[in-house]
Structure 1
Amino acid sequence: MAIKVHGSPMSTATLRVVAAVHEKELEYEFVTIDMKSGAHKQPPFISLNPFGQVPALEDGDLKLFESRAITKYIAYNYENKGTSLVHKDGKQMAELTVWMEVEAHQFDPVGSKLVWELIIKNLFGMQSDDAVVEENEAKLAKVLDIYESRLSNSKYIAGDSFTLADLHHLPVLQYLMGTKVKNLFDERAHVSAWAKDILGRPSWAKALALQKQP
């Protein structure tokens, strides 16, 4: 039975899971959830995620929600397929876990706020709040200064191989690079090279292709 990913092609969390599936070279079925109609808040979807948020995953009789939990499951359960995405060594895995936490608690909240202000609001005909943008640009700059230092010593954020710590950045990073915030990445040579590298992965191109399907 093929893996089923339930979600929206426009959802950053959904794309995070789809990218992981492609890194593992797994067959899967994508089930589109119509968020405009509120399908994510109604049966049958809420049987997969009681919080009414995308994505959700089905793998046989296993049902999971929360994108980062799903990517970890995919990485470990299919460790012998595709890209490793995790480390087997305990110390390396501990370091990887640290940087996954950094993405979730330092990068994503600030990046997602900027995506909301600079992109999503415009889609809904709303005015972005310049003060909020300026505040979060400053916060992101501090995070990227730390990333620049880190990436001066390793090719990827958690070492010299591409892992979940990098993959988890992809959706928000993709949106940010289409805004004026791209300058914050361009100003930092190692961060810029890292962003270009991971955004250029074939798995990410395949994930983004979902947005072009009718």
Structure 2
Amino acid sequence: MATVKVYGPPMSTAVSRVLACLLEKEVEFQLINVDMSKGEHKKPDFLKLQPFGQVPAFQDENTTVFESRAICRYVSDKYADKGNKGLFGKNLLERASIEQWLEAEGQSFNPPSSALVFQLAFAPRMKLKQDQGVIEQSEAKLVKVLDVYEKRLEESRFLAGEEFTLADLSHLPNTQYLVKVTDRGGLFTSRKNVNRWWEEISSRPSWKKVVEMQNPKPSKV
């Protein structure tokens, strides 16, 4: 079986979402770095894989898929019998629950959390001025989302039920940055159930491996 290919830097939240999924499913993959600072994501060859010039791009033999959540769904279905078999649900009811929380992540959680990640984690690295208005508005929106999560996680171990699924996995990239890199980690850790959930999902071997890929140890001379 040919190894699937993922194009993009592991520091990207979208790329790391796909990497976590592949590791959960125990699917062998080749990570091909794309130097976005050199505009490699806008070159014609890359645009054949990802027409919007964003990362990740994904190739599985003759199949190409873009958008990280779509890639995760594809991987979970294509390799249903590998690795974590319940990642995308084992029946219609489980799948529906996972899908609704994936939608919550994409529509409600991702916009404010992504804005905060960019403003607080990436803007300083890129020497860009932070927009305090965006930070305040995004934090206020995220607080409301996390209040909903807190109630949900009081009655359920994970978002979609009692098992770890794509619904939880999809939250890992942005939360990692907010908890570990910015000063807004308290948004998560101050909420009893959200904190318990975060501690559990972020301690999974698959995610620990992704974090290692994002922060490689310098090789010994």
TM over 0.5: yes
Task: Pick one of 176, 181, 185 that aligns with 1:182.
Answer: 185
2:35 aligned with 1:26: no
Structure 2 partner of 1:52? 53
Q: Quote the Cα distance in structure 2 between the aligned partners of 1:51 and 1:131.
A: 28
Large movers: runs of 4+ above 3 Å = none
Shift in Å at residue 132 of structure 1?
A: 2.1
Aligned residues: 214
Query: TM-score by structure 1 length?
Result: 0.96
Q: Which amino acid in the other structure matches residue 79 of structure 2? A: Y
Shift in Å at residue 90 of structure 1?
A: 1.4
Task: Pick one of 193, 201, 205 that aligns with 2:204.
Answer: 201
Q: Quote the Cα distance in structure 1 between the aligned partners of 2:154 and 2:141.
A: 20
Shift in Å at residue 35 of structure 1?
A: 0.6
- Percent identity, aligned pairs only, is 45
DSSP-derived class of the 1:29 partner: strand
**1:30-109 mapped onto 2 (5 Å cutoff):** 30-83=31-84, 84-109=86-111
Q: Quote the Cα distance in structure 2 between the aligned partners of 1:89 and 1:50.
A: 33
DSSP-derived class of the 2:182 partner: coil
**1:129-140 mapped onto 2 (5 Å cutoff):** 129-140=131-142
Structure 1 partner of 2:161? 159
2:194 aligned with 1:191: yes
DSSP-derived class of the 2:211 partner: helix
**Structure 2, gaps ≥5 residues long:** none
Shift in Å at residue 125 of structure 1?
A: 1.6
Structure 1 partner of 2:128? 126
Q: Which amino acid in the other structure matches residue 184 of structure 1? A: L
Q: Quote the Cα distance in structure 1 between the aligned partners of 2:16 and 2:142.
A: 22
Query: TM-score by structure 2 length?
Result: 0.93
Q: Quote the Cα distance in structure 2 between the aligned partners of 1:88 and 1:202.
A: 22
The one-character-per-residue Cα deviations of 1:136-183 (angstroms, maximum 9, x if unpaired) are: 111111100000000011110110001000011111010010222111
Q: Which amino acid in the other structure matches residue 2 of structure 1? A: T
DSSP-derived class of the 2:5 partner: strand
Shift in Å at residue 30 of structure 1?
A: 0.7
Bigger drift between 67-76 and 132-141 goes to 132-141
**Structure 1, gaps ≥5 residues long:** none
Shift in Å at residue 130 of structure 1?
A: 2.3
Q: Which amino acid in the other structure matches residue 131 of structure 1? A: G
Q: Which amino acid in the other structure matches residue 212 of structure 1? A: N
Shift in Å at residue 117 of structure 1?
A: 1.2
DSSP-derived class of the 1:36 partner: helix
Q: Quote the Cα distance in structure 2 between the aligned partners of 1:126 and 1:67.
A: 26
Q: Which amino acid in the other structure matches residue 59 of structure 1? A: D
Shift in Å at residue 207 of structure 1?
A: 1.4
RMSD of equivalent CA atoms: 1.2
